[in-house]
Amino acid sequence: MGTITTHTIVSDPLLSPPQLAELISCKLRTLEFWRNNGKGPRFIRVGKSIRYRVSSVDSWITQQSNQPVNTTGQTNNNAAPLSSGHGNTEDTKQ
């Protein structure tokens, strides 16, 4: 069994459910539902408290990324990039 050091705790801090809910903009009930159904980020128990390692949350968020899929169910590697966020998704006429 590995030894836990102060460095380990500092380099991978723990989040409480309210902290995580705020971070990913979801409700506490959603986190509870995910925990009860084996979904969402991995969690640990510290006594009776639920905590989430930042590294586990980061891995889970990365796994949530999806590549666009075309109507045949194949990955579309030629998908157009997302909008630049300027509110206009149409080509600018010159």
The reply to whether 59 falls in a domain is yes
Q: 31-41 in b/e burial notation, b at 16+ Cβ within 10 A?
A: beeebeeeebb
pTM here is 0.61
| Residue 25 domain boundaries | 9-63
pLDDT of residue 28: 97
The CATH code of the domain that includes 45 is: 1.10.10
User: What is residue 24's predicted lDDT score, i.e. its pLDDT?
Assistant: 95
In this prediction, the residues of the chain whose per-residue pLDDT falls under 70 are: 1-10, 67-94
Question: Is there a domain that residue 54 lies in?
Answer: yes
Distance CA 42, CA 40 (A): 7
How far apart (Å, rounded) are the C-alpha atoms in residues 63 and 53? Answer: 16
